[in-house]
Amino acid sequence: MSRTALRICPLCEATCGLTLTVDGSRVTAARGDRDDVFSRGFICPKGASFGAVDGDPDRLRGPLVRRDGELREATWEEAFDAVAAGLRPVVERHGPHAVGVVLGNPNVHTVAGALYPPVLLGALGTRSLFTASTVDQMPKHVSSGLLYGDANAIPVPDLDRTDHLLLIGANPLESNGSLCTAPDFPGRLKALKARGGTLTVVDPRRTRTAKLADRHIAIRPGTDALLLAATAHVLFEEDLADVGALAPHLDGLAELRESLRDFTPEAVAAACDVDAEVPRLLARDLAAAPTAAVYGRIGSCTVPHGTLASWLVDVLTILTGNLDRPGGALFPQAATDRTPRPAGPGRGFALGRWRSRVGGHPEAKGELPLSALAEEIDTATEEGEPVRAVIAVAANPVLSAPDGDRLDKALESLDFMVSVDPYLNETSRHAHVVLPPPPPAQSPHHDFAFNTLAVRNQVRYTRPAVPLEPGRMAETEILARLILAATGMHGADPATVDAMVIDQTLRKAVREPHSPVHGRDPARWPPCSPARTARTAAGPDAPPRPLRRRVRRPAGRADPGEAARPSARHRPRAAAPRLPQPLKTRSGKVELLPEPIARDLPRLRAARDRRPAGLVLVGRRHLRSNNSWMHNIPALTGGSNRCTLHIHPRTPNASAYGTRPPSASRAPGERSRCPPRSRTPSGRAW
C-alpha cells in the first residue's frame, strides 16, 4: 500500500516542497507540492528524481572501517572505536590544529550540518577549518561583513517586484538560484518580463538565462569588477547616482566616488572585451528603472577580484537607491531568526584574525580556503604542525577543490581520516572510517540557512518521510558520536551532545539584551532542560529541540512537526525594508569604502591593462547534476549536451583544441558519454 508524505527538497537552494509517494520504505515518485506555501508545485528534474537519489543502490548502508589497508563493512560501534583510536593520538601528540575539518556543501541542506559542526569545532579548538564556502560565496560574505558589519547580511533581489534585474555570473535556469532562495526562479524571471520589466545578463556564455535576457553582455571571464566599477563611475559622472532614503545610513560616499575616478568606460573596455558604451548603458538602465536589483553569483564570486565584484554589486544597488526597498534588494527576516537586535553600532567584521600556516591566507568567518588544504597537509614549516588528520563532513574536495590531484595524494598521506558521506567516492576512499548518513527521506528537514536568503519571509519544517531503516543512524547522532570520539569522551551518551547543542542555542538567546527571553536560565527552561534530550523526550520523528524552539507554530496546529501549511494569516510575506537594523558596523552605518577594499583597488586598476594569454575555461553547471555527486543516478544521466567543452566557433584555432563548434559537437539524439564515476557498491573493499 502506498502513501504520500511531504518533504522539502534538499537538493538545491530553492527548497521546493515535494509530495512523495512512499511504498514501504521506498520513495517511488515525487511531485511538486501544489499546496506548498512557498514553491506552489514547482519541481525540477532533480527533485522529480528524489526517489532515485534517495534509493540509489550505490549509497552505503553501514559504516566502513579500514583494515589491512582495505575499507570493509563494520558495526557502528567498531566505527566509532576506530574514530576515537585514530583521532585522539593526533590531537594529543600534535595539538588541535593538526586536525583539519572540511565542511562541504550538503551541510547547508541538512539539520545535522547546521547544528552540530559548530560544536565539533568548538570542542576540538582547531583553526584548521576548510569549507566549500571558500570555493563559492565567501567573497560575498567578506563584502557584506565590510559593508554592513555582518557577513551574513546578504541583500536578496526582490525578484517578484523589481522592474529591472541586472544578473551577473548566475544561471538560475540551470542552478535554480543561489543566495536567493526562490522556488521557480525561471518562472519568476518570466513573470518579470511579462509585467514589462527588463533583464540584463552578464555572462561570458550564452546560457539559457542569457537567452531570456533583453540585454546579454558577453564579458571576458574574471573582469566583472572592472565592468561594475566603470558602471558605478558612470553613475557619478552622469549625475545618475541617487541614494534617496539611504543617505542617513551611508558613510564614505565622497570617498567612494573618488576611488572610482579612474575606472572610466574607456579604461576598462578592452580588458572586459566590451564596447565602452556598455557600462554607460548598464548605468542608465539601472538609474532609469523605477526599481532595480543587482544580483551577482558564482561567476562574480569565484573569479579574480571576486570580493571587489561582490562589493560593487551592492555599491550599484546603493547608488541607485535600491538597497532595502521593495523592488530592489532586501535583507530577509527569517521567521527562525532570533528577534532582531535594535539598530545601533556593532562590533564590526573581523578579517584575518589568523592566517593559514603555509600560504598565509587570512581566515574569514573562521574559515580557511579549501584551496589551501593540500599544502596544509603536505608541507612542513617552522611555524607549526601540518594537518595530520582530517574530518570531512559532506565534502568531496578531491573533485570540488582546485588541484584535486595534489589533494588526492595529500589525503593518502594522512595519519587518520574520517568521512561522513553516503558514498564511497574520490574523497571518502582515502578515509580510515566512512560514516554514512541515512538517505534524505529518512531525515527531517528545515532550512536554517536558506530562510535567511529567501525572497519570502516564511518557515517550513518536514519530518522524516520514512522511518530510519534498521542499521541506519540519524546524521545528528553520527555527528554527536563523532564529536564525543574526537574529544576524548568516546562512549558517553550522545544525548549529552544534543543537550549541548540545545544549551548553546538557548544561551545565545538569553544573552541578547533585546531578546524576549533575556536573562532566563536555560537550565531551568522546562521543555529544554538538558536532561530531556531530543531523542529521549520526543522520539526520532520530532524536530530536534533547538528547532522546535525556533519553528513558530503555524496557527491552528498543535505540532510543528507536521508539514507546515500555515493558515492564510501565516502565508509567506514579502521581505520588508529593515535598515538600519541589520547594520553591525562600528559606525552603525553602511561603510561604503572599507579599508581592505580600498587597499585592493590598485590591484584592480592594474588589471585594466592585462589580458591572459590563451584560453580561459569557465565552469558549467547542469540542470540534472549536482556539484560532485549524482553522476550515477540513471534518471539524471540522460540528455544531450553533457561533459562537453563549449567553445565559440570564432575562437582562433578552435579546431586546435580538439573540439568542434557546439552545433556540431553531438549528433542528434546522441547520449552523454560521461564516464560513470566512483561506482563502488557498498560493502565491497575499495
Residues that bind ligand MGD (CB under 6 A): 12, 104-106, 110, 132, 135-136, 168-172, 174-176, 178, 202-205, 207, 219, 221-222, 224, 297-300, 303, 393-397, 400, 420-423, 425, 437, 475, 618-619, 621-623, 625-629
Hey, what amino acid is at 228?
A: L
Q: Write down the least CB distance from residue 123 to ligand SF4, Å.
A: 32
Residue of minimal Cβ distance to ligand SF4: 47
Partner from ligand MGD, ligand SF4, Mo ion, none binding residue 618, C-beta < 5-8 Å depending on class: ligand MGD
Q: How far is CA 105 from CA 136, 419, 585, 601, in A?
A: 9, 14, 28, 31
Partner from Mo ion, ligand MGD, ligand SF4, none binding residue 47, C-beta < 5-8 Å depending on class: ligand SF4
Is the CB of 12 or the CB of 103 nearer to ligand SF4?
12
Partner from ligand SF4, ligand MGD, Mo ion, none binding residue 321, C-beta < 5-8 Å depending on class: none
- Map the footprint of Mo ion across residues 97-156, applying CB under 5 A: 136
Are the beta carbons of 131 and 367 closer than 8 angstroms? yes
Judged by CB under 5 A, does residue 367 bind Mo ion?
A: no
Is the CB of 296 or the CB of 327 nearer to Mo ion?
296
Q: Write down the least CB distance from residue 41 to ligand SF4, Å.
A: 11
Task: Count Cα neighbours of 471 within 13 Å in the Cβ-side half-sphere.
Answer: 8
3-state secondary structure of 526: helix
Buried b / exposed e across 593-617, counting CB within 10 Å, b at 16+? bbebbeebbeebeebbeeeeeeeee
Residue tagged 542617513 (cell numbers): 248
Cell digits of residue 682 = 557498498
Partner from ligand MGD, Mo ion, ligand SF4, none binding residue 299, C-beta < 5-8 Å depending on class: ligand MGD
Q: Write down the least CB distance from residue 98 to Mo ion, Å.
A: 28
Partner from ligand SF4, Mo ion, ligand MGD, none binding residue 297, C-beta < 5-8 Å depending on class: ligand MGD
Q: Write down the least CB distance from residue 401 to ligand MGD, Å.
A: 7
Q: Write down the least CB distance from residue 43 to ligand SF4, Å.
A: 5
Residue tagged 553569483 (cell numbers): 297
Q: Write down the least CB distance from residue 225 to ligand MGD, Å.
A: 9
Is the CB of 164 or the CB of 642 nearer to ligand MGD?
642
Q: Write down the least CB distance from residue 630 to ligand MGD, Å.
A: 8
Q: Write down the least CB distance from residue 680 to ligand MGD, Å.
A: 12
Q: Write down the least CB distance from residue 440 to ligand MGD, Å.
A: 6
Residue tagged 507546515 (cell numbers): 564
Interacting residues toward ligand SF4 by CB under 6 A: 9, 11-12, 14-16, 43-44, 46-47, 176, 183
Angle at 177 between CA 175 and CA 183, to 5 degrees: 105
Residues 6+ apart with CB under 8 A from 248: none
Closest C-alpha among 376, 449, 371 to residue 131: 371
3-state secondary structure of 372: helix
Output the DSSP codes for 496-515.
HHHHHHHHHHHHHHHHSTTS
3-state secondary structure of 55: coil
Cell digits of residue 395 = 565534502
Gyration radius from the chain CA atoms: 25
Cell digits of residue 383 = 611555524
Is the CB of 429 or the CB of 463 nearer to ligand SF4?
463
Residues 6+ apart with CB under 8 A from 596: 142, 146, 351
Partner from ligand MGD, Mo ion, ligand SF4, none binding residue 9, C-beta < 5-8 Å depending on class: ligand SF4
Is the CB of 12 or the CB of 87 nearer to Mo ion?
12
Kind of pairing, strands 129-131 and 368-369? parallel
Buried b / exposed e across 396-435, counting CB within 10 Å, b at 16+? bbbbbbeebebbbebbeebbbbbbbbbbbbbbbbbbbbbb
Is the CB of 45 or the CB of 596 nearer to ligand SF4?
45
Is the CB of 71 or the CB of 179 nearer to Mo ion?
179
Is the CB of 59 or the CB of 338 nearer to ligand MGD?
59
Residue count of the chain, please give it: 686
Is the CB of 54 or the CB of 591 nearer to ligand SF4?
54
Is the CB of 14 or the CB of 410 nearer to ligand SF4?
14
What is the contact surface with Mo ion in residues (CB under 5 A)?
136
